[in-house]
């Protein structure tokens, strides 16, 4: 089989290390929800879930099909679907997925479906907008929400939650504290009208680090599980979970005046040895890394990317590197390399790791 030879290695020990790092910041009774949306932040959602399932309380995905994939793989822990869509709500019940109901349109539709199927206390989650202005009810909606839910015996609120807008930014501390306080007020008001207490959660990774006093009942661990904190000091205590590797397909000698790649973007000023690597922008390597803005590691040395990154390949300068065709190439194997790529492409590490193409094979290193 002519498989893609580039691979993404997922480091299971690093994943467990990072989980334990954040566990140590939590109160003994604080539950942990692990976010595995977007293929586990570009790794593999099923692999990540299997690595940590016995040590966490909940998983979260963005869309229904992501949750269905986990269920089909045998994941049994509760799964919160953060952004369910109306056409998919029946599949949620079919696969025991728990929806975030964020406005009246989807709330009413799901309540009607739950009554039709007579689900009895089906777990639902209600999100509130406290400042991110993305998804969620407003505090003024509380009365109508409770009125609608109390009409049915077929659903039960599993959790109430909100999302912090700038928990990583110390300059936004006042805004973040106001979000937390407003959310606490919402929870208190809802608790007064229920005869049970739903799980409460607002903290994301940066929130766990910066606002430990707001753990409530559960926290949501996302990017932190994959090796990134909200500053260099925290990231240094975490371990890299994504290792992207390839090989040298071909080595060429380029004479002075000859060019490399599309649009003849690289012109050799002297005899240059180039190596062609079978990975390109279709695999998540930004074209902005071409023309010596980025580099790969070959035999422990930096090899700058020359010319434009192609769809399926990139070329690097190996003039001063002792290497041969078939040698291993490291695209990244450390947070600093990922952060460098993010810096050079004017983005954030999230985008670098989630952009890794699904045609790149995944491999779990135990």
- In order along its 366 residues, the chain shows pLDDT tens digits of 557 899 999 999 999 999 999 999 999 999 999 999 999 999 999 999 999 999 999 999 999 999 999 999 999 999 999 999 999 999 999 999 999 999 999 999 999 999 999 998 999 999 999 999 999 999 999 999 999 999 998 999 999 999 999 999 999 999 999 999 999 999 999 999 999 999 999 999 999 999 999 999 999 999 999 999 989 999 999 999 999 999 999 999 999 999 999 999 999 999 999 999 999 999 999 999 999 999 999 999 999 999 999 999 999 999 999 999 999 999 999 999 999 999 999 999 999 999 999 999 999 999
Measured between alpha carbons, how far apart are the two ends of the chain, in Å?
26
Residue 98 and residue 65 share a domain: yes
Do residue 233 and residue 247 come from a single domain? no
pLDDT value of position 3 = 75
Active-site option among 262, 302, 324, 336: 262
Q: Are residues 279 and 317 in the same domain?
A: yes
Q: What is the pLDDT, as a whole number, of residue 361?
A: 95
The domain boundary residue, chosen from 218, 237, 256: 237
Distances from the Cα of 220 to the Cαs of 13, 82, 239, 358, in angstroms?
Answer: 20, 12, 19, 25
Q: Is 354 helix (H, G, I), strand (E, B) or coil?
A: helix
Tell me: do 83 and 207 sit in the same domain.
yes
Give the residue from 210, 237, 264 where a domain finishes.
237
Q: What is the CATH number of the domain that holds 300?
A: 2.40.37.10
Q: Does residue 5 lie within any of the structural domains? A: no
User: What secondary structure does DSSP assign to 74-105, as a single string?
Assistant: T--S-EEESS--GGGHHHHHHTT-EEEE-SHH
What angle in degrees, to the nearest 10, is found between the helix axes of 45-52 and 64-72? 60
Q: Are residues 57 and 176 in the same domain?
A: yes
**2 in a structural domain:** no
Neighbours of 256 (CB within 10 A): 10
Q: Are residues 230 and 339 in the same domain?
A: no
Q: Report the number of distinct structural domains present in the chain.
A: 2
Output the pLDDT for position 1: 52
Q: Of residues 37, 58, 102, 211, which has the active-site annotation?
A: 37
37 is catalytic: yes
Q: Are residue 174 and residue 280 in the same domain, yes or no? A: no
Same domain, 174 and 81: yes
Same domain, 204 and 266: no
* 224 plus 288 within the same structural domain: no
In a domain, residue 318? The reply is yes
Output phi, psi for 161, to 5 deg. Answer: -150, 165
What is the rounded distance in angstroms from the CA atom of residue 311 to the CA atom of residue 44?
A: 23
* Whether residues 309 and 181 fall in one domain: no
Domain of 271 in residue numbering reads as 242-365
Question: Among 237, 264, 296, where does a domain finish?
Answer: 237
The answer to whether residues 127 and 225 belong to one domain is yes
Categorise residue 261: left if φ over 0, alpha if ψ from -120 to 50, beta otherwise.
left
Return the CATH number at 128.
Answer: 3.20.20.10
Q: Cα–Cα–Cα angle for 75, 26, 23, nearest 5°?
A: 50
Does residue 133 lie in a domain region?
yes
């Amino acid at each position: 089989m002519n498989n893609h030879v580039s691979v993404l290695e997922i480091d299971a020990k690093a994943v467990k290390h990072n989980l334990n790092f954040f566990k140590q910041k939590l109160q003994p009774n604080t539950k942990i929800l692990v976010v595995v949306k977007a293929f586990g932040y570009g790794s593999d959602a099923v692999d990540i879930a299997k690595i940590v399932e016995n040590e966490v309380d909940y998983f979260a995905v963005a869309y229904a099909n992501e949750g269905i994939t986990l269920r089909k793989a045998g994941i049994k822990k509760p799964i919160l679907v953060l952004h369910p869509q109306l056409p998919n709500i029946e599949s949620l019940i079919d696969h025991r997925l728990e929806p975030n109901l964020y406005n009246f349109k989807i709330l009413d539709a799901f309540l009607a479906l739950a009554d039709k199927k007579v689900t009895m206390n089906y777990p639902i989650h209600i999100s509130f907008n406290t400042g991110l202005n993305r998804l969620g009810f407003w505090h003024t909606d509380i009365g109508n929400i409770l009125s609608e839910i109390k009409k049915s015996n077929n659903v039960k609120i599993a959790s109430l939650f909100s999302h912090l807008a700038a928990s990583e930014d110390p300059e936004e501390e006042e805004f973040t504290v106001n979000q937390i306080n407003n959310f606490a007020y919402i929870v208190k008001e809802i608790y007064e009208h229920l005869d049970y207490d739903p799980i409460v959660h607002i903290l994301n990774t940066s929130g766990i680090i910066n606002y430990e006093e707001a753990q409530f009942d559960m926290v949501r661990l996302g990017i932190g599980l994959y090796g990134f904190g909200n500053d260099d000091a925290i990231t240094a205590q975490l371990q890299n979970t994504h290792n992207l590797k390839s090989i040298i397909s071909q080595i060429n000698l380029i004479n002075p005046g000859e060019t490399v790649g599309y649009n003849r973007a690289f012109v050799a000023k002297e005899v240059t040895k180039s190596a062609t690597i079978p990975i390109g922008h279709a695999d998540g390597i930004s074209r902005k890394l071409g023309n010596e803005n980025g580099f790969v590691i070959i035999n422990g040395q930096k090899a700058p990317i020359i010319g434009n990154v192609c769809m399926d390949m990139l070329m690097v300068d190996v003039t001063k590197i002792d290497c041969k065709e078939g040698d291993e190439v490291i695209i990244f194997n450390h947070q600093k390399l990922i952060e460098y790529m993010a810096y050079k492409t004017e983005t954030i590490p999230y985008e670098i790791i989630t952009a890794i193409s699904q045609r790149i094979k995944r491999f779990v290193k135990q």
